[in-house]
Structure 1
Amino acid sequence: MTAVLKVTVAHRNYLIALLLPLLLLPLLLVIPTKEARCGYVIILMALFWCMEVLPLAVTALFPVLLFPLMNIMDSTTVCREYLKDTNMLFIGGLMVAIAVEHWNLHKRIALRVLLITGVRPALLIMGFMSVTAFLSMWISNTATTAMMIPIAQAVLQQLHKSEQETSSAGQVAENVNQAFELQEGPDKSDTSQETRKQDNGHVLTVEKEEKREDEQQLQEKKHLTLCKGMSLSVCYAASIGGIATLTGTTPNLVMKGQMDQLFPKNNNVVNFASWFMFAFPTMLLLLVLSWVWLQIMFLGFDFRKNFGCGINAAAKVKQQMAYKIIVDEHKKLGSMKFSEIAVTVLFLLLVVLWFTRDPGFMPGWATNSFNKNGQSYVTDATVVIFISLLMFLIPSEMPMYLCRNRPQQAQLQVVPALLDWKTVTEKMPWNIVILLGGGFALAKGSEESGLSSWLGGELAPLENLSPPAIVLLVCLLVATFTECTSNVATTTLFLPVLASMAQAICLNPLYVMLPCTLSASLAFMLPVATPPNAIAFSYGQLKVIDMAKAGSVLNLVGVLTIMLAIHTWGFPLFNLNHFPVWANSSSPASCN
């Protein structure tokens, strides 16, 4: 029996892949409608994603096979969904991020900020969190965490090593003083007094030894606690920082793509600038609150001590030694090379072009020049692909013939560009591109089959609840669901349903879609919830209960922060108090 169980567990993915489609077949037989066929595909993909029966990207290819076979959509229409404008925005953004990583610009930024913040416990955590959050706004959350955690561990190890050396030096001094005092005893030859003194000395030595062991255990415990707090601060900051920009994390791009898919006449209401103005303050507030919470949980309530006020000389010495590590690491990078300067200039140019393309509150450079009949010909994807192409054209070094101090007989060499295709193919997560496409195909299939409209009608009774209550329920549901499955899969499954529900009850679709998208990034409780959590957990200092305790409170804080954001600056930014014309035009109901 045990052998059979072992074989079953070992081959569970094969069994699930075979049995799940068969178990769901009654849905097609009992309800022989187009909506039911689309629902069959969505449920099957959701279960495959949750159970990770196949790689996520492979499961995302199901619509290419099943939608044509079930007469939901033709193959050409389905395949067209896999490389939309949003996918090109994602690819271009990752190319820029790969260039930043390739030339170590992200490490220079990280070390520079840490030199400013210093190594006092509270400020050290704040420094690592701020750097991680900033970097994850532009490059992969996983890559940011993988880079920052080793740096954090090195700094903490040096802090711990300095503390141990300080304690050892103090113990040696005490032993020397004690031996000197014993030798300086009176010259009387009273045996009983000498024996008593030796006994007292032995007792004192034992007590000091026990005290030293207790101090060492306390130091180890403090070090472990600080390591836990630092690891969690880095992985949480990576997830939080990603919500600030449209390209920061994949769910944001899913939301952008779903908006353009479901509401093609939305007047580009969600672009890089509008998203940043809404999500960046939300990110900052959540980052500060998470820093305060992690400080309370892992450093205690003594904020004066956490900020390094009133510490003794020994503590200052160990902090100086840890700070020296950061200084040495920064010195190893040397002065900025031509390649780093070029990538920095192109990166800043990209941000400026994104912000000024069509900011909404004022005419942008593309508002009138590249517009026809109210349709913008230039999008954020156009801008990022332009910058990416420049990175393949601009050399990574100053050409020798432009240098003043070039050798007279220097050999002519072709300077490589800032970016090459080999580097891109090695670091580009093509699986996410396919996963994004699968999500867009699902959304299109739900629309074509009428499933979205049907689900929206079924959820119409929610109009009896107040809109804030609906948003709160949605945020809590998505934040819970994303702990167990991919945040991309979560947004892919929820957003079309929520958009239809909003139409059915005459709510602005953005009022529920924005909180849903941000809540999908609140995966703080489990190591498997998101790659940054897994990287932090892999260092072996954290237990699942540590992450669950810290993450459960942070999930709730995140939901409340999103609720605050959507009901304050979110309303005027996206005009959420009105049901928009672009949503009403595709709505089965009439909303005024």
Structure 2
Amino acid sequence: MATWWQALWAYRSYLFVLLLPIVLLPLPILIRTKEAYCAYVIILMALFWCTEVLPLAVTALLPIVLFPMMGIMDASEVSTEYLNDTNVLFIGGMLVAIAVEHWNLHRRIALRTLLLIGVRPALLILGFMMVTAFLSMWISNTATTAMMIPIAHAVLDQLHNKPAQQASKDSKDIEVGNCNPAFELQEAGLQKEETKLDNEQVSPAQPAPSKPKTHQNQEQLRFAQGMSLCVCYSASIGGIATLTGTTTNLVLQGQMNSLFPNNGNVLNFASWFSFAFPTMVILLVLAWLWLQVLFLGINFRKNFGIGGEEREQEKAAFHVIQTEYKLLGPMSFAEKAVTFLFVILVALWFTREPGFFPGWGDHAFPNKKGQSMLSDGTVSLFIGIIMFIVPSKFPGLIQDPENPRKMKAPPALLNWKIVNKKMTWNIIFLLGGGFALAKGSERSGLSQWLGTKLITLQNVPTPAIAFILCLLVATFTECTSNVATTTLFLPILASMARAICLHPLYVMLPCTLAASLAFMLPVATPPNAIAFSFGGLKVSDMARAGFLLNIIGVLVITLAMNSWSSLIFSLNTYPPWAHIDNTTVHCGGISNIMPNFTTTSPSP
């Protein structure tokens, strides 16, 4: 019979959801201010997000109920935060990503690139990292990992002379990952179950007739581990390069537009790519070198296949990639159409408002103030809608499956059934909940109150502040959702920046990027969970590789923020739009807070 504590443990989620709001009630009851009411909501949601006793998206809906009840914001104002321009950009980007996945264009790009790179050990890891990072810039990190992991291990099977049937079986096992195209979100319970099951698996026994054979098997295992980690790590690294690459980037853009509505669209696709792409390239190269040293050793001559050893295995592995590519056949009209529309979308994103030269957005559809009425979200949704119009086969007819005697027009590149299945609706609610929290913090005065309490940080060197915050976020995101982490931290960082007269992006940008540095634990991100569940990895392997990679990532982000990012975003100047209410010049007389930063007065 179950004891009372076993029953309590079984019902722990229900008890936590019921008791936590009651435990926190003294805060709004004893301190009857809007700041305390807003703090109550934020603390409640933060604890729900960290413990995940409710689905993350359901927790994100709480502001719609609690903010109007507490008099913080009207219900209509809260609701508009759940489908603002940033969410529109997310939806449009997802439509294009779904089309790329549906017509297998991402697989063609991956296999073709691997054919060009080759299958030498070091080059093979580099090739998989380059392909995964590039695809992750545009489509889901999870779906990219789920596609690349089976390809990687199929190639390894040929290099190590393993049966092809086992590779086929593993590919089917991992295919479940394609059903979850979330940018950076997967139910933690599922991840933890996968991790638990894989920890219980026993590695397949390997014959060891002699010491050289045992050594070779150990070497093969290390190579397989490195291949798995290089795919999942590069998926997370690649997502930081574009504004739509991962959801945390969109959280920052939405928070900036919500907290600083007059920021002049400082964060757009072109400006983000200008600073994030070089950061991604440097981090990817350093990750490649670290994984190569850790799993292949420091014999670079052998790693690059110099010396002509094991040519037969390399030819067999190359043949696997070549066969997979040939099975795709020639590019269909649908693939060509999706490619064309994708290129058009990226070109429109880059040239809409690049900043360093006048873009088409500066002249098209201006409002009364002379500013463009279009945004990156408008462009992405426009291309997404076109994909519902363009036929997938032209010219041509297909047989009606319900009536073979009839002919009908081919389906469009996208249809609602496909979109409804693959669109991550939970992310939209999660983003909206974060934007609602940011707006509520500003309306209630909580942001201003936090700013006054953080004024003592003005005596700390600003690079040290950014570095410490990056380490904090990188550590925190190992255990919680990346999106929830940025949603909770960014409003606080914005208040801190205002308090010490620091450019808000100087702390908000690096912490957003640091939220993608979740490399140590299998449950940190869905790509990590997929790589771990494929077998051959221990938690200690991932922690050992990810720990130093986290440190490297924080150092690279710090370098980026104090070099080219300062030029792109003018981080050495306190911007006028960051003043409280854009009217109070509270930083005008401060000159000794930051030796490397100056302040400007807001324009009249």
Query: Which amino acid is the alignment partner of residue 376 of structure 2?
Result: D
Deviations 1:213-257 (A, max 9, x none): 323322221121111111111000000000000000001001011
Q: Call closer, same or farther: CA 1:211–1:548 in 2, change over 3 Å.
A: closer
Match of 1:262 in 2: 259
Match of 2:484 in 1: 489
| TM-score between the two structures when normalised by the length of structure 2 | 0.87
1:517 & 1:370 partners in 2: Cα distance? 32
Deviations 1:503-557 (A, max 9, x none): 1111111111111111111111111111111111111211111111111101100
Q: Work out whether residues 396 and 409 of structure 2, in 8 Å CA contact, stay in contact via their aligned partners in 1.
A: no
Deviates more, 1:8-17 or 1:120-129: 8-17
Match of 1:547 among 534, 542, 545: 542
2:208 & 2:26 partners in 1: Cα distance? 71
User: Shift in Å at residue 563 of structure 1?
Assistant: 0.3
Secondary structure at the aligned position of 1:528 is classed as coil
Match of 2:350 in 1: 355
1:414 & 1:160 partners in 2: Cα distance? 48
The structure with the largest helix share of the pair is: 1
User: Shift in Å at residue 570 of structure 1?
Assistant: 0.4
Secondary structure at the aligned position of 1:243 is classed as coil
1:576 counterpart = 2:576: no
CA RMSD of aligned residues (A): 1.7
Q: Work out whether residues 97 and 140 of structure 1, in 8 Å CA contact, stay in contact via their aligned partners in 2.
A: yes
1:94 counterpart = 2:94: yes
Q: Call closer, same or farther: CA 1:305–1:364 in 2, change over 3 Å.
A: same
1:577 & 1:469 partners in 2: Cα distance? 15
1:474 counterpart = 2:469: yes
1:462 & 1:589 partners in 2: Cα distance? 19
1:265 & 1:123 partners in 2: Cα distance? 47
2:87 & 2:163 partners in 1: Cα distance? 50
2:51 & 2:117 partners in 1: Cα distance? 43
1:251 counterpart = 2:248: yes
Q: Work out whether residues 579 and 586 of structure 2, in 8 Å CA contact, stay in contact via their aligned partners in 1.
A: yes
User: Shift in Å at residue 376 of structure 1?
Assistant: 2.6
1:320 counterpart = 2:320: no
1:374 & 1:566 partners in 2: Cα distance? 31
Secondary structure at the aligned position of 2:359 is classed as coil
Q: Work out whether residues 503 and 509 of structure 1, in 8 Å CA contact, stay in contact via their aligned partners in 2.
A: yes
What pairs up with 1:26-37 in 2 under 5 angstroms? 26-37=26-37
1:35 & 1:415 partners in 2: Cα distance? 57
Match of 2:158 in 1: 158
2:161 & 2:5 partners in 1: Cα distance? 48
2:461 & 2:489 partners in 1: Cα distance? 20
What pairs up with 1:268-279 in 2 under 5 angstroms? 268-279=265-276
User: Shift in Å at residue 112 of structure 1?
Assistant: 0.5
Q: Work out whether residues 162 and 321 of structure 1, in 8 Å CA contact, stay in contact via their aligned partners in 2.
A: no
2:501 & 2:263 partners in 1: Cα distance? 16
What pairs up with 1:126-525 in 2 under 5 angstroms? 126-161=126-161, 212-312=209-309, 315-372=310-367, 373-400=369-396, 412-525=407-520
2:291 & 2:9 partners in 1: Cα distance? 38
Q: Work out whether residues 456 and 498 of structure 1, in 8 Å CA contact, stay in contact via their aligned partners in 2.
A: no
Match of 1:113 in 2: 113
1:211 & 1:525 partners in 2: Cα distance? 32
Query: Which amino acid is the alignment partner of residue 35 of structure 2?
Result: E
Query: Which amino acid is the alignment partner of residue 134 of structure 1?
Result: F
Query: Which amino acid is the alignment partner of residue 286 of structure 1?
Result: L
1:120 & 1:460 partners in 2: Cα distance? 55
1:3 & 1:222 partners in 2: Cα distance? 49
Q: Work out whether residues 140 and 249 of structure 1, in 8 Å CA contact, stay in contact via their aligned partners in 2.
A: yes
| TM-score between the two structures when normalised by the length of structure 1 | 0.88
Deviations 1:177-220 (A, max 9, x none): xxxxxxxxxxxxxxxxxxxxxxxxxxxxxxxxx98432332222
Match of 2:6 in 1: 6
Secondary structure at the aligned position of 1:564 is classed as helix
User: Shift in Å at residue 589 of structure 1?
Assistant: 5.2
Q: Number of matched residues? A: 537
Q: Call closer, same or farther: CA 1:77–1:211 in 2, change over 3 Å.
A: closer
Q: Which structure is larger by alpha-carbon Rg, 1 or 2?
A: 1
Match of 2:172 in 1: none
Query: Which amino acid is the alignment partner of residue 336 of structure 2?
Result: I
Structure 1 unaligned regions, length at least 5? 165-209, 402-409
2:208 & 2:99 partners in 1: Cα distance? 53
User: Shift in Å at residue 311 of structure 1?
Assistant: 3.9
1:154 & 1:20 partners in 2: Cα distance? 49
Query: Which amino acid is the alignment partner of residue 559 of structure 1?
Result: V
Query: Which amino acid is the alignment partner of residue 384 of structure 2?
Result: S
2:3 & 2:218 partners in 1: Cα distance? 43
1:589 & 1:498 partners in 2: Cα distance? 19
1:64 & 1:224 partners in 2: Cα distance? 51
Query: Which amino acid is the alignment partner of residue 89 of structure 1?
Result: L
User: Shift in Å at residue 374 of structure 1?
Assistant: 4.5
Deviations 1:339-386 (A, max 9, x none): 000000000000000000011111111102222205430000110111
